[in-house]
Each structure stands twice: as C-alpha cells, then as structure tokens.
Amino acid sequence: MAHALLSASSSKRWLNCPPSARIETQFPESSSPYADEGTFAHSLGELKLRKYTTVMRKSEYDNELHNLMKNQYYSKELEDHIDNYVDFVKEKIHEADSRNPGEKANVLLEQKLDYSLWVPEGFGTGDVVIITSGYLDIIDLKYGKGVPVSAEGNTQLQLYALGAYNNFSMLYDIHTVRMTIHQPRLDSISSQEMPIFELLAWADSEVRPKAELAFKGEGELCCGDWCRFCRAKATCRARAEDSLELTRLDFKKPPLLTQEEIAEILEKAEQIQAWASDVQAYALDQAENHGVKWPGWKLVEGRSNRKYKDDSIVADELLIAGYSEEQIYNKKLLGITDMEKLLGKKNFEAVIGAYIIKPPGKPVLVVESDKRPELNSSAKAAQEFGVFAGTKNMKEQHDKVKKVIGA
C-alpha cells in the first residue's frame, strides 16, 4: 500500500523535525528482511482474525493459510507468536461485546484511517479497530523484538485514533479511545487510554501546525532519537553538527575531565557512535554500489577467515587419513533461539522451559530515566575495600559505605 508523505509511522519524526518529511523524499525507500517478516506476520494475523470475525469458508481459510505457510518467513515460532496476538485481540472483542447490553462491537481489520482533517493527505492503516458506542479500541501489532514500544504518548497510534474518530464519529458517539501496542515476541502489551477531547485538543494545538510546516517542507531541523530511522540520517547537516558539537565543548582547566564532563560525554557518545556508523554505512554503499570516490579514501577487500571449500569432502579425506568421527566432529546442542524455532514457543516452554536460566547481564551505564532498577555498586565497592570488617551492625556498615564513596 502507498504511504502518505506525513505517515503515522514517521509522525514522531515530522512532528519533532518538520522539514524531515520533504528531505526524506530525496532518498529511495528501502526495505529489510525484518520489515518483510513483519509484513508477513501481519498477513497471518489478519487471516486468523478474519476467520474469527467474518463468515469464511473453511476451505478458503485452509487454502490461504496453506499459501502463507509456503512463505520464506513462515515458522512454527512465528505462528505461535501470532496466535498469542490473535488471542489478545479476541479478548478485547469479547470485552467490547459485553460493554453495552445488546450491542455487538464493530471490528475492522487493516482499516484505512483518514486523518487528513488535521494532516494534509494524511492516512494510515490500523491493524485492528474495535468500535462500540462511546469507546474506540485501536490495536497495533509490532512484530519486532528490539525494544518494547510504549503506547504512552505514541503519536502513530494517536493519529490512527484520530483517523478512526474521523471515519466513525458520524455513526458512534465516541468519548474515550484506548490505544494498545502488542509485541508478542517480547511479551509486551502497552496501553494508553485517552478522553477524546484530549486527543482532539492535541490534534488542533500540536499536530495541525506542525503538519502544515512539514507538508511545505518548512520549520526547524531538530535532532533526536527520531533521526534513527530517517532516510537522511547519514548526510543530514543538522545531525552532523549536533553530533560534532561535543568537540566544541569548552573544557576548562584542570587538565583531567570532571565527573560532570564525563557524564556529558556519555550522554553524547551513543549518538556520536550511531551517527558515525550511519555515515560509514552510507559512504561504503555509495563507493561499492554507485562508484563514488571519496577524497583520500579507497575501496579495498576486507579481512576474511579461512574456510573449508566443501565440508563433506574434507570430512571424507580426514576419515580416509585415519582420523575418527569423534576427533573431527564437534557435536553441539542447538542455541536457545534455534531450539525455540524448532520446538515452537509453547512446546519449548513445556519440554525445557524449566531448564532455561537467565544469568545476570554485565553492568552497563544508562541514563537515569531508564526503567531498569539501579545496581548497588556502592555496596560492592565497600565489600571490595573490606570496610565491613570489624563492624557490628547494619548502621555501622552503612556509615562506612558512605565514608568510602564520599557520600
């Protein structure tokens, strides 16, 4: 399906950096195996929900399912995840059906949602929209397993909700909208409920003015985490200047960096690394595939490791030479991800779930707003210094820890 210039999925970007929408049109759209797998997962989910919500002949369903199962992205594991999502949507349909006595919920799948009342030419596609008098439910499937996506303040879902309200407010008196993101691979479900007047106020005060700027290609360029999926991210001057700003920091004496300065560098380091990788990937692609010669740089063959030309011939030769199978083969259990793929999620849990452990991860520094609980490094430091020796109680230990860390 064609995408709107001001699509809901890129809305965080154009709401924060309005000129990005027009700038991006200078770059070709690209896909990835992850995106293609996500599209396939949506098709499977839609089919299963269509069977549940409409009158569909069994032979028709079996035929469509059979075709999907031949797709390169089909696996038992993927189907288990989609079943999990489908079960969740069924629950929400039941909930909606029992909301108003005598009223059956209106369920729409892969519905085109038109929010052009606030955003020029704006439309998107909602995976699931459930409508009853008073209540609108928007459910979005995200098949990725990178990071859990929160529904709180999620502009993509809020635009879908605006579109659904625009499409159906003539037929239903809607006062509340609930927006939900379901990420079955992360066992993550995030919801936000909002009174419709709040959504409409946001649309008028925030969306409409920014969308008008974005549609005209006007407004201020502004960098942030929304740059990550911008097609201009490698060559955008604003992002380059923002990333390089650190080098212009006016560090004063003393010669060693202070704690505040190191904290400032940590804050920027992630952004600089991401930006530098984007520029490197872009420059390599241009040199390798488009004949671009960057001044002072050349394309060479990278380092590589030795490998067998043909494993079976090598094995035969070794056995003929008198080496045993035990010597030349290394028998290893499949890794957890591959094993889960082989068994399917439910079977995996049933057969070996009790034998899976998750060892503590290596400590990492993250910003204070990160949701993970803080590790108690001061207690560890105290143990390393042996300061608990000779202490009688917790209070004495606590005082000593504070002394060690200078608190």
Which two tokens mark 40?
A: 């396939």
Query: Per-residue contact track with ligand SF4, 116 to 145, x per CB under 6 A?
Result: ------------------------------
Angle between helices 33-53 and 76-97 (to 10 degrees): 40
Q: Taking the complex as a whole, how short is the minimal distance between the CB of residue 268 and ligand SF4, in angstroms? A: 15
134 vs 217, beta carbon nearer ligand SF4: 217
178 vs 233, beta carbon nearer ligand SF4: 233
105 vs 223, beta carbon nearer ligand SF4: 223
Distance CA 185, CA 143 (A): 7
132 vs 154, beta carbon nearer ligand SF4: 154
Among 5, 6, 8, 17, binds ligand SF4 (CB under 6 A): 17
6 vs 47, beta carbon nearer ligand SF4: 6
Residue partners of 202: CB distance under 8 A and separation at least 6: 158
Residue partners of 44: CB distance under 8 A and separation at least 6: 68, 74, 78, 79, 82
Query: Per-residue contact track with ligand SF4, 266 to 295, x per CB under 6 A?
Result: ------------------------------
| 68 burial via Cβ count (<10 Å: 0-12, 13-18, 19+) | middle
238 vs 318, beta carbon nearer ligand SF4: 238
- The total of other beta-carbon atoms located within 10 Å of residue 349's CB is 14
How many residues of this chain bind ligand SF4 (CB under 6 A)? 15
Q: Look at residues 160, 264, 256 and name the one whose alpha carbon lies nearest to residue 203.
A: 160
Query: Per-residue contact track with ligand SF4, 358 to 387, x per CB under 6 A?
Result: ------------------------------
Based on the shown chain and the rule CB under 6 A, indicate whether residue 238 belongs to the binding site for ligand SF4: yes
Q: Taking the complex as a whole, how short is the minimal distance between the CB of residue 68 and ligand SF4, in angstroms? A: 35
Distance CA 137, CA 191 (A): 10
Give 109's strand partners. 128
Residue 239's identity, in one-letter code, is R
* DSSP code per residue over 22-74: HHHTTS-----HHHHHHHHHHHHHHHHHHHHHS---HHHHHHHHHHHHTSTT-
Among 9, 23, 90, 200, binds ligand SF4 (CB under 6 A): 23
State which H helix or E strand residue 179 sits in.
strand 176-183
279 vs 339, beta carbon nearer ligand SF4: 279
Among 42, 51, 178, 239, binds ligand SF4 (CB under 6 A): 239
Query: Per-residue contact track with ligand SF4, 198 to 237, x per CB under 6 A?
Result: -----------------------xxx--xx--x-xx--x-
Encode 218-233: b = buried (16+ Cβ within 10 Å), e = exposed.
Answer: ebebbbeebbeebbbb
Contact positions vs ligand SF4 (CB under 6 A): 13, 17, 20, 23, 221-223, 226-227, 230, 232-233, 236, 238-239
